[in-house]
């Protein structure tokens, strides 16, 4: 525990449900600037709430050095004192120390922060007026001024020992006299502080094909005033994607810069950029408007008035702003599972599959695991036999399902579809393969240096992938090429390797969050993590002692904290919502799509 607050190492609070109003306006008149242009608008809802979009969250102030009543509270608050980074944060943190302590700890007032995952905070027995407080922690990574965490390491456990001295008089406060042990370089905060004082703010980049927007998770400091937060977001967008995501997305045209900060107006913002932003022509400007609207959203999507060198641009308004983010337009979930060796629907009161359905194919037998396309016209069955496992794809063509046996070797993991395509990814014989259901020859796309691939899951945007290999979970960019060719980047980010040291499966719960299932120290483990692997929340207690072998989730939309979840365990399979409810006879559940 971390003192007086519950230690929830949770993903930063997600935005609330999208308001019904979604309007994109490009090239509107700007009051007071003397610029006027014909406007094009698409109204797909009711009145937009500008206050919600522009403010999002109120300002959060880090704790004062004078607010602690106990030594452990002082140390807890010290791990939150440096939020926001910079000189002000360094001065604030030093106030927690005595003059002697300040002489010992003199960090540079950097714009970056080392993020620590605190495992325990223990108060010892006071001796001679000094109270020891021992903190066990691990270094997670470094939060940069670009809002992303790099150098993700999840280091070995370390220890710091704080010596806290009592107030000198009744009007004084507890202070830290010295810090023993291995301290991180520079300023640092706990992952709990990251969760409390920052908001996960995705910045969106177009994928390499220019078809879909892909979220790049950033952490926006809520210690800043709401009116300056949009400037952070726009600058992050201009500076390009996080290094690990670069292979799958496009940066803005080289040299694009901002002509001042975004200007708030009723319902949204005026964004004024340099002429380089026009390098891709009118289509590129329309795409840029999409990016800005999605990136600047909080509880709603704001309208954007796009200017180039202070001149409004009259470009085509998008027909449907939701369509460019595949996570925003998903149909209701369709749950399936294996019962008696066959794939069956788990829809309440679901009817038997129609004649000619892929589920009526003679190959729907001896099924170990499976995948179904969203339109239910393609199935991939992993079958068992005396000689091992095999993968059969079945496509609905007319009234007769056509089957094709794929050249793969046991063991074969559960296949998954890449959203927006008919292609699948599947782990086989410790490698990762791309499957075209119309071609029996799979293509090995295992990222360089990765061995022992066991399981795979694809993000709703189809451009990020989570992989389990040799018991460790990773996330990487999934770059799209021509004719549904895909490659997995070798820049892998670990997903809670210390919390789930024996991972078995991963699932995308939303565009921001993943689930990692497996075991830790011989005990069942299920953790939820941000999709960049920075912060997580332990959900293992809900397993009821059942060890998970697979986990699947259905991301409802970008504005919900999570969608439905199903877990497969050694003891059985069922639905998971805070706790696991095993369904008799069910095995290997999954969602179509």
Q: What is the pLDDT of residues 187-207, one digit of tens each?
A: 999 999 999 999 999 999 999
**Highest mean pLDDT (candidates 148-157, 165-174, 301-310, 421-430):** 421-430
Confidence of residue 317 (pLDDT cuts 50, 70, 90): low
Taking residues 48-62, what's their average pLDDT? 58
State how far the Cα of 553 lies from the Cα of 506, in Å rounded to an integer. Answer: 9
- In the 8-state DSSP scheme, what is residue 464? E
Q: Report pLDDT digits (tens) over 416-459.
A: 999 999 999 999 999 999 999 999 999 999 999 999 999 999 99
Two tokens, residue 112: 């970056």
Angle between helices 229-239 and 281-295 (to 10 degrees): 140
State how far the Cα of 133 lies from the Cα of 66, in Å rounded to an integer. Answer: 18
- The pTM assigned to this predicted structure is 0.88
% of the chain surpassing 90 pLDDT: 76
Q: Is 15 strand, coil or helix? A: coil
Q: Considering Cα of 19, then 57, then 200, then 287, what sign does the dihedral take?
A: positive
Q: How far is CA 361 from CA 158, 170, 350, in A?
A: 56, 81, 18
Q: Is 195 strand, coil or helix? A: helix
The pLDDT of residue 246: 97
**Highest mean pLDDT (candidates 30-34, 120-124, 553-557):** 120-124
> What are the backbone dihedrals phi and psi of residue 433, each rounded to the nearest 5 degrees, phi first?
-125, 145
Kindly list the structural domains of the chain, giving each domain's residue range(s) and its CATH number in brackets, ordered by start: 23-58+224-325 (no CATH), 71-197 (3.10.450), 336-591 (2.120.10.30)
State how far the Cα of 140 lies from the Cα of 395, in Å rounded to an integer. Answer: 45
State how far the Cα of 593 lies from the Cα of 334, in Å rounded to an integer. Answer: 8
- Residue 319, pLDDT > 70, answer no
CA dihedral 254, 260, 264, 269 (to 10 degrees): -20
Radius of gyration of the chain (CA): 26
- Residue 11, pLDDT > 50, answer no
Two tokens, residue 593: 């799509």
CA 187 to chain centre: 25
Q: Is 519 strand, coil or helix? A: strand
State how far the Cα of 213 lies from the Cα of 159, in Å rounded to an integer. Answer: 42
- In the 8-state DSSP scheme, what is residue 167? -
Helix or strand run (H / E) with residue 52: helix 50-55
> How open is the CA angle 554-559-564, to the nearest 5 degrees?
25
First to last CA, the chain: 40
The pLDDT of residue 9: 32
Tell me, letter by letter, the H, E, C secondary structure of 208-220. CCCCCEEEECCEE
Q: Report pLDDT digits (tens) over 508-565.
A: 999 999 999 999 999 999 999 999 999 899 999 999 999 999 999 999 878 776 789 9
- Residue 372, pLDDT > 90, answer yes
Q: Looking at 10-19, 189-198, 279-288, 386-395, which range is the least confident one?
A: 10-19
Check residue 255 and give left, alpha or beta (phi > 0: left; psi -120 to 50: alpha).
left
Two tokens, residue 210: 């220019």
What residues are paired with 508 via a beta bridge?
Answer: 514
Burial of 340 (0-12, 13-18, 19+ CB in 10 A): exposed
The better pLDDT of the pair 141, 17 is held by: 141
Residue-averaged pLDDT of the chain: 87
Q: How far is CA 305 from CA 37, 233, 555, in A?
A: 11, 16, 31
Q: Is 37 strand, coil or helix? A: coil
What residues are paired with 175 via a beta bridge?
Answer: 165
- Pairing of β 472-480 and β 40-43: unpaired
- Pairing of β 464-469 and β 472-480: antiparallel
Q: How far is CA 150 from CA 110, 228, 243, 536, in A?
A: 15, 24, 8, 16
- In the 8-state DSSP scheme, what is residue 322? G
- In the 8-state DSSP scheme, what is residue 178? E
> What are the backbone dihedrals phi and psi of residue 4, each rounded to the nearest 5 degrees, phi first?
-75, -15
Check residue 91 and give left, alpha or beta (phi > 0: left; psi -120 to 50: alpha).
alpha
């Amino acid at each position: 525990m971390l003192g007086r607050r519950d230690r929830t190492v949770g993903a930063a609070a997600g935005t609330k449900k999208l308001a019904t109003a979604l309007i994109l306006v490009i090239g509107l008149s700007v009051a007071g600037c003397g610029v006027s242009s014909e406007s094009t608008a698409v109204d797909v809802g009711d009145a937009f709430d500008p206050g919600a979009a522009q403010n999002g969250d109120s300002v959060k102030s880090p704790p004062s050095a004078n607010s602690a009543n106990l030594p452990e509270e002082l140390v807890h608050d010290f791990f939150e004192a440096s939020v926001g980074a910079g000189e002000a944060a360094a001065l604030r943190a030093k106030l927690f120390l005595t003059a002697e302590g300040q002489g010992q700890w003199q960090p540079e007032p950097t714009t970056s922060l080392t993020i620590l995952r605190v495992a325990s905070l223990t108060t010892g027995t006071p001796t001679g007026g000094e109270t020891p407080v021992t903190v066990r922690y691990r270094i997670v990574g470094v939060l940069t001024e670009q809002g992303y965490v790099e150098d993700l390491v999840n280091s070995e456990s370390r220890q710091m020992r704080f010596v806290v001295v009592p107030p000198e008089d009744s009007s004084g406060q507890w202070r830290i006299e010295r810090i023993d042990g291995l301290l991180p370089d520079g300023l640092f905060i706990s992952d709990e502080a990251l969760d409390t004082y920052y908001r996960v703010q995705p910045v969106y980049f177009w994928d390499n094909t220019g078809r879909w927007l892909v979220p790049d998770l950033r952490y926006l400091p809520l210690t800043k005033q709401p009116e300056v937060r949009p400037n952070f977001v726009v600058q992050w967008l201009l500076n390009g994607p996080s290094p690990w995501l670069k292979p799958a997305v496009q940066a803005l045209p080289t040299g694009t810069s901002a002509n001042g900060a975004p200007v708030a107006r009723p319902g949204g913002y005026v964004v004024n950029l340099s002429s380089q932003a026009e390098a891709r022509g009118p289509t590129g400007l329309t795409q840029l408007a999409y990016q800005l609207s999605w990136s600047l959203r909080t509880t709603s999507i704001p309208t954007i008035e796009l200017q180039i060198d202070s001149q409004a641009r009259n470009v085509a308004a998008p027909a449907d702003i939701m369509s460019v983010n595949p996570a925003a337009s998903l149909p209701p979930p369709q749950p399936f599972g294996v019962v008696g060796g066959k794939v069956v629907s788990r829809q309440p009161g679901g009817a038997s599959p129609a004649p000619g359905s892929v589920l009526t194919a003679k190959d729907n037998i001896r099924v170990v695991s499976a995948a179904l396309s969203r339109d239910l016209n393609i199935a991939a069955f992993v079958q068992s036999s005396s000689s091992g496992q095999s993968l059969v794809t079945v496509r609905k063509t007319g009234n007769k399902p056509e089957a094709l046996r794929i050249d793969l070797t046991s063991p074969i993991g559960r296949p998954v579809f890449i959203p927006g395509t008919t292609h699948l990814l599947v782990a086989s014989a410790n490698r990762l393969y791309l499957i075209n259901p119309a071609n029996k020859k799979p293509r090995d796309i295992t990222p360089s240096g990765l061995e022992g691939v066991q399981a795979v899951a694809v993000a709703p945007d189809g451009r990020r992938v989570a992989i389990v290999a040799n018991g460790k979970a990773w996330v990487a960019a999934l770059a799209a090429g021509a004719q549904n060719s895909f490659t997995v980047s070798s820049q892998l980010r670990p997903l809670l390797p210390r919390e789930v040291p024996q991972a078995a499966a991963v699932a995308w719960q939303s565009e921001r969050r993943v689930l990692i299932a497996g075991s830790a120290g011989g005990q069942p483990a299920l953790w939820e993590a941000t999709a960049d692997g920075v912060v997580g929340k332990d959900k293992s207690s809900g397993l009821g002692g059942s060890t998970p072998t697979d986990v699947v989730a259905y991301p409802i939309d970008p504005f919900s904290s999570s969608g439905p979840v199903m877990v497969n365990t050694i003891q059985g399979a069922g639905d998971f919502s805070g706790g696991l409810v095993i369904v008799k006879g069910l095995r290997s559940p999954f969602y179509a799509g």
